Amino acid sequence: MGSHEVLRRVFGYDSYRGDQQEIVEHVIGGGDALVLMPTGGGKSLCYQIPSLVREGVGVVVSPLIALMQDQVDALRDLGVRAGFLNSTQYPDERSLVEAEFLAGELDLLYLAPERLRVEQTVRLLERGKIALFAIDEAHCVAQWGHDFRPDYLALSHLHERWPDVPRVALTATATAATHAEIAERLKLADAKHFVASFDRPNIQYRIVPKNEPKKQLLELLRNEHDGDAGIVYCLSRNSVEKTAEFLNQNGVKALPYHAGLDSGTRAKNQSRFLREDGLVMVATIAFGMGIDKPDVRFVAHLDLPKSVEGYYQETGRAGRDGLPSTAWLAYGLQDVVQQRKMIEDSDGDQQHRRRLVAHLDAMLALCETVECRRVQLLEYFGQGGEPCGNCDTCLVPPETWDGTVPAQKVLSTVYRLKNERRQKFGAGQTIDILLGRKTAKVIQFDHDTLSVFGIGTELNESGWRGVVRQLLAQGLLAVEGEYSTLVLTPGSEEVLYRGRKVLMRREPERAAKVRTAKPK
Ligand code: ADP
Ligand code: ZN
């Protein structure tokens, strides 16, 4: 069968989408390919069809072990002879698949990457006929990326062992640096690169200041997504549980999902989410890779993602059907403090930590931008564009204001507190001092006698939290140690002593004005 015939007869589609046809033909012709395509773009067909057209078995390397059974079942339903090998199988199941492979009775074989570290698997592959290698989630090979998996490094040897077998590497998330690293590590020097636009025009991006996150979420759901399916991401298992409970108490059907639940419950919740209408999945980022549910109408983040790649990937699960959808993130001072601290406490070398900092800084820049969110997001992936007219900053442009004086006030307070022996103070104490509040802790440490006491009456508490948050985001202030003590940075000194100006973002009154248009 030709490739069009396979597309129609096997998969039941009339035509290719985007670059699919070009990619399919290139790989059928024996060429290597590096495919960057957003979630929902249709990456699977790019290796599935060539696997069916070329002689031999298409070997698909994927880290998504939990999904292999489903993927294989779905292919078998279409009449495609598919199998998988991973660590969850019993030895006799594995032997069966191996026998099918050797007998030439498979079209597609899904492999977990760690299988390729096992010499036995490599020898098995050498005894069969391979149509192509597909390397899914190829960004996992990049150490600079946000989702590095050491097992992927073994994939650099595929080319030496099978120089004549075409390889296609695919990912939905890659900055220019990650893109280059994938090509280098996978030895794809001669590969043709297919880079689709990363824009997801039907997703409306919104990032709001976090006050009472659960209530804000409920308001979003009630006002704009009543009865819709969606995903709510939280950082911790505990907040997943609490948020799911809160939603259920308030009449929103919600299910929890995190790595602390037993695998039976996880599988059950996942399949309910996929099958039933209008369920909200409250989850840690353990949930979502490879989930193909077209009508997810919103993705909400109650905590700050660690990187723009992560944010893009998670929000990308909304609106795969192309209908209007919302990506909503609530973000506040505590997020910055917490994430900076997590980086400080993380294992790993200096270089690893620098990477985490760079990822977080890019995410913070996206949160604090006064420009179009979409443009900023796409620029991060090396693409650009015109302001979109459909994100919060386009719809209600935030103002910038000269925050130099309030910044100096915060920084001088931090400087004064630094001189206190052995005592460590965080944002709360700093703000109490600026506002001239005689709290017990202020009195206890005689902070009402500091020259900065009460000099900050021009802003209220939330205004000051905004200033501290933006200083942290801009690297003009840092947190340190067990108590998240505020400390000065080289940048702070420029503001304090060398007249550096600080531009800040003023949050517009926008809740009422920004709405996602409802499909239906
Ligand atoms: P990705 O892996 O890029 O996230 P998938 O390969 O899972 O995307 O495809 C996303 C959805 O689009 C799937 O439901 C798939 O069946 C559908 N799809 C892919 N290609 C086509 C096409 N040419 N015509 C119609 N639907 C398609
Ligand atoms: Zn915009």
- DSSP character at residue 518: P
> Strand locations in 235-380, DSSP E?
254-257, 280-283, 296-301, 325-331
Helix (H) or strand (E) holding 84: strand 82-85
pLDDT (tens digit per residue) in 230-240: 999 999 999 99
Res. 352 pLDDT band, cuts 50 70 90: confident
Q: What is the pLDDT of residue 341?
A: 87
- The end-to-end CA distance of the chain, in Å, is 39
Question: Can you tell me the distance from the alpha carbon of 332 to that of 51, in angstroms, rounded to the nearest whole number?
Answer: 48
- What residue's CA is closest to ligand 1, atom 17? 42
Q: Report which bound ligand comes closest to the CA of 201.
A: 2
Whether ipTM exceeds 0.90: yes
How many angstroms does the Cα of residue 178 sit away from the middle of ligand 1? Answer: 24
Ligand 2 centre to CA of 201 (Å) is: 10
* Ligand lying closest to the C-alpha of residue 198: 1
Report yes or no: 399 and 508 within 8 Å, Cβ to Cβ.
yes
Q: In angstroms, rounded to a whole number, what is the distance separating the alpha carbons of residues 393 and 396?
A: 5
Q: Among 5, 7, 13, 295, which residue has the most ligand 1 atoms within 8 Å of its CB, making it the best to mutate?
A: 13
User: What's the pLDDT at 520?
Assistant: 42
At residue 518, does pLDDT exceed 60? Answer: no
Structure tokens at 43: 């990456």
Model pLDDT, residue 508:
64
Q: Which residues line ligand 1 (CB under 6 A)?
A: 13, 16-17, 20, 37, 39-45, 292
Average pLDDT, the chain: 92
pLDDT of residue 429: 94
Ligand 1, closest atom to CA 17?
A: 23
Instruction: Tell me the CA–centroid distance for residue 13 and ligand 1, in Å.
Output: 10
The mean per-residue pLDDT over the stretch 85-104 comes to 92
* pLDDT higher than threshold 80 for residue 517: no
Beta bridge partners of 59: 109, 133
Ligand positioned closest to the Cα atom of 290? 1
pLDDT confidence of 512, banded at 50, 70, 90? very low
Report the predicted TM-score, pTM, of the whole model to 2 decimal places. Answer: 0.85
Looking at ligand 1, which atom is closest to the CA of residue 292?
A: 7
Neighbours of 203 (CB within 10 A): 26
What residue owns the CA closest to ligand 1's atom 2? 43
Ligand lying closest to the C-alpha of residue 375: 2
Q: What is the 3-state secondary structure (H, E, C) of 452-475?
A: CCCCCCCCCHHHHHHHHHHHHHCC
What confidence score (pLDDT) does residue 95 get? Answer: 94
Residue with tokens 């992936």: 381
Mean pLDDT, residues 247-269: 96
38-47, 143-152, 162-171, 419-428: least confidently modelled range: 419-428
**Residue to probe by mutation, ligand 1, list 10, 44, 78, 200, most atoms within 8 Å of CB:** 44
Q: Ligand 1 center to residue 103 CA distance, Å?
A: 30
pLDDT at 511 over 50: no
Distance 156 CA to ligand 2 centre (A): 39
In this prediction, what percent of the chain has a pLDDT beyond 70?
Answer: 97
Which stretches does DSSP call E strand in 379-428? 399-402
| Beta strand ranges found along 226-305 (DSSP E) | 229-233, 254-257, 280-283, 296-301
pLDDT at 268 over 60: yes
How much distance in Å is there from the Cα of 301 to the middle of ligand 2? Answer: 19
Q: What is the pLDDT of residues 462-490, one digit of tens each?
A: 899 989 989 988 889 988 877 788 999 99
Q: Over the stretch 9-20, which tens digit does the pLDDT of each residue have?
A: 999 999 999 999
483-520 burial, b for 16+ CB within 10 Å, e for fewer? ebbbbbbebbeebbeeeeebebbeeeeeeeebebeeee
Mean pLDDT of 432-455: 95
Grouping H, G, I as helix, E, B as strand and the rest as coil, residue 301 is strand
Place of tokens 């931008």: 369
Provide the pLDDT confidence category of residue 173 given band limits of 50, 70 and 90: confident
Q: What digits encode the pLDDT tens for the residues 204-228?
A: 999 999 999 999 999 999 999 999 9
Work out the pLDDT band at 355, boundaries 50, 70, 90. confident
pLDDT of residue 1: 79
Mean pLDDT of 441-454: 94
> Span 272-290, mean pLDDT?
93
Cα(409) to centroid(ligand 2), Å? 33
